[in-house]
Structure 1
């Protein structure tokens, strides 16, 4: 999984429908940069540094924290694009000018950056109460990496005496557009290399879910199976079944009071799907009897998501993740797995199934594709 970075961003507007510009900017940051973790109150502050004859309106200011996989420069580029999209005009004079939206990076993790285009931490933040007050609302204990003081202390000793008043309207977190409260347990399934683990990680992180991951990497028979499939097929499938049964029984029985629901990157029914492909008929019949003895005692997911990827994309993903024992998987094997899943889902009556075709999507690298998938999942909620 890509590293998640925490970035603090200041937002300001003193032109046009100021609250709408702040909300629109928040929505676009969510769409293009990352998950909005926290939103401060909105404060009204007088326009500072403007010539008296300009009659500039007061600013509305706030701060947000955002979890992102983008670099600091990528975040900067996205914020500049958002400003342009929200009617921010290029400066026509050397002084201060009213603006529909102003977006500034205050902190990016705890790094220090100083280039011609980007300085982090923001060099003036300790001098501006309209930045420090909303920032303190959400990160009062955050330590400035250069000044070695907390945001709360910087606010306490700030010499800016300008008026700052909280307003009674709050911005809405766009993350709440996607609602998983209808589900206690979501299982994400797919072929080898479909991206089910990556999607489970993202959903667990963004929506406070308990993450249940298949422990396939610990199975000593898997590399042997890829080398000699006929010899190790039954042993592999039995070991998978035992491990999946044990793990999912344990994980689903352990209530986590601090999580809202559970999301897994597999469902135990995959054992039956794979075994039908890998085992000869007589061994499969025995395996199926054993499977259903266990299956009747396993909790079923409230939502079963199947990520469909075409074979070309699957092979690209398999090559990219670089597991040695997967590098010689044949197209026909992947196609038979897809067919097995789709045949199972077509005849499935017990599960709430959502099939999502992601063959032309890259939700790991492209946030818009990820949000599209969330929209597809939410479209099943009644």
Structure 2
């Protein structure tokens, strides 16, 4: 599990559409930095330290895996991406967006690129009022006083007014979903993605136990002989695993991610079994399927066939090396039919044919943001 840091940021704007500026900044921070835990009210304040338009100011609480130096770099990039143009002057200026780190955990940081706590936060009511709203009981690491008391001791006499309009907080994945199932063809990367999401969000991980199935190597050598016992053993094992794990798991309080959904049993059976075997298998499946908890989100990873074969070869499982493209295409078609037939399934299809989410953080973040936004 990666370490999560708690940071409090101050956001301000006095140019253009100020509400839109703040919302865009919030959304970008959510995508690029970490989950937004709290957002204060919006406060209208006069320009501080220079003559300019009134500001809209807020404070937000963010949970991030970035360390403090990475965080300041990310925030400067976000300001630039949102149109902030910094001029080489020490004088205060109008700006469409300004993002400052106020607190980072309970740390005191003194470096060339970052000072935390923010050295001027205690002098500024436009910072302390929104910060006290969302973190009034948090202690200032240097003053050893709560933010609420720091506000009471602030001598800034600037007028500050809360406005009625509110900003929208992007919901973190763990608040939107309790159970996510990640699916895809053989070699699509579903296990890798499930492991990465589980580590990032501290979720319970359920992985298919294919390696323990004694019929799998035999099936790839003689499909006709071993198809039915293979599919029946997979169905029984998937049912037992999901039933046990979901029964012991509080879906109202926790977050679970799996690298399969039990419906894959029917998809593969349709490809591998004879017509008579499939009809018998489907009767068994229908009875079992009714008892399984359905995922809040079903993520299907699409990979083109050439990329699937490349991934299968790369991971080096001996019994998979003779898998043919025709077999993969049949499975792909089975998933397509399943997806189009499920009207009540909360579905996200992600084409990962041109992505390397295992080795490229940006590609991984693209998928996570798609999950967040659906």
- The Cα shift of 1:226 comes to 7.1
- The Cα shift of 1:58 comes to 2.6
1:246 and 2:225 matched: no
Given that residues 211 and 264 in structure 1 are in contact (C-alpha distance below 8 angstroms), is that contact kept between their aligned partners in structure 2?
no
What corresponds to 1:170 in structure 2? 166
Given that residues 11 and 22 in structure 1 are in contact (C-alpha distance below 8 angstroms), is that contact kept between their aligned partners in structure 2?
yes
Distance verdict in 2 for CA 1:158–1:229, change over 3 Å: farther
Given that residues 179 and 257 in structure 2 are in contact (C-alpha distance below 8 angstroms), is that contact kept between their aligned partners in structure 1?
yes
- What is the correspondence of 1:115-126 to structure 2 with a 5 Å cutoff? 115-126=111-122
What corresponds to 2:334 in structure 1? 344
- What is the correspondence of 1:239-318 to structure 2 with a 5 Å cutoff? 240-249=234-243, 251=246, 256-257=251-252, 264-273=258-267, 291-298=285-292, 304-310=298-304
Given that residues 4 and 63 in structure 2 are in contact (C-alpha distance below 8 angstroms), is that contact kept between their aligned partners in structure 1?
yes
Given that residues 30 and 175 in structure 1 are in contact (C-alpha distance below 8 angstroms), is that contact kept between their aligned partners in structure 2?
no
* Alignment RMSD (CA, Å): 4.8
1:158 and 2:154 matched: yes
- The Cα shift of 1:10 comes to 0.7
- The Cα shift of 1:189 comes to 0.9
- The Cα shift of 1:212 comes to 6.6
Gaps of 5+ in 2: none
Aligned-partner Cα distance in 2 for 1:65–1:168: 20
What corresponds to 1:15 in structure 2? 15
- The Cα shift of 1:267 comes to 0.9
Aligned-partner Cα distance in 1 for 2:236–2:136: 49
**So what's the TM-score if we normalise by structure 1?**
0.70
1:133 and 2:129 matched: yes
Given that residues 271 and 331 in structure 2 are in contact (C-alpha distance below 8 angstroms), is that contact kept between their aligned partners in structure 1?
no
Q: Bigger shift: 90-99 or 302-311?
A: 302-311
- The Cα shift of 1:309 comes to 2.9
Deviation track 1:27-82 (CA, whole Å, cap 9, x = no partner) reads 332343333332111112232222xxxx3223221011233344433332232233
What corresponds to 2:206 in structure 1? 214
Given that residues 204 and 263 in structure 1 are in contact (C-alpha distance below 8 angstroms), is that contact kept between their aligned partners in structure 2?
no
Q: SS where residue 206 of structure 2 aligns? A: coil
Aligned-partner Cα distance in 1 for 2:312–2:147: 45
Aligned-partner Cα distance in 2 for 1:350–1:135: 49
What corresponds to 1:194 in structure 2? 189
Q: Bigger shift: 32-41 or 185-194?
A: 185-194
Aligned-partner Cα distance in 1 for 2:129–2:311: 46
- The Cα shift of 1:347 comes to 3.7
- The Cα shift of 1:312 comes to 7.4
Distance verdict in 2 for CA 1:172–1:276, change over 3 Å: closer
Distance verdict in 2 for CA 1:315–1:8, change over 3 Å: farther
Aligned-partner Cα distance in 2 for 1:165–1:355: 45
Distance verdict in 2 for CA 1:313–1:92, change over 3 Å: same
What corresponds to 1:25 in structure 2? 25
What corresponds to 1:61 in structure 2? 57
Aligned-partner Cα distance in 2 for 1:358–1:220: 25
Distance verdict in 2 for CA 1:280–1:5, change over 3 Å: farther
Aligned-partner Cα distance in 2 for 1:360–1:7: 34
Given that residues 12 and 98 in structure 2 are in contact (C-alpha distance below 8 angstroms), is that contact kept between their aligned partners in structure 1?
yes
What corresponds to 2:43 in structure 1? 43
Q: SS where residue 240 of structure 2 aligns? A: helix
Given that residues 11 and 103 in structure 1 are in contact (C-alpha distance below 8 angstroms), is that contact kept between their aligned partners in structure 2?
yes
**So what's the TM-score if we normalise by structure 2?**
0.72
Q: SS where residue 149 of structure 2 aligns? A: helix
Deviation track 1:108-139 (CA, whole Å, cap 9, x = no partner) reads 34444332112233233233222122122222
What corresponds to 1:72 in structure 2? 68
- The Cα shift of 1:102 comes to 1.0
Aligned-partner Cα distance in 1 for 2:325–2:271: 11
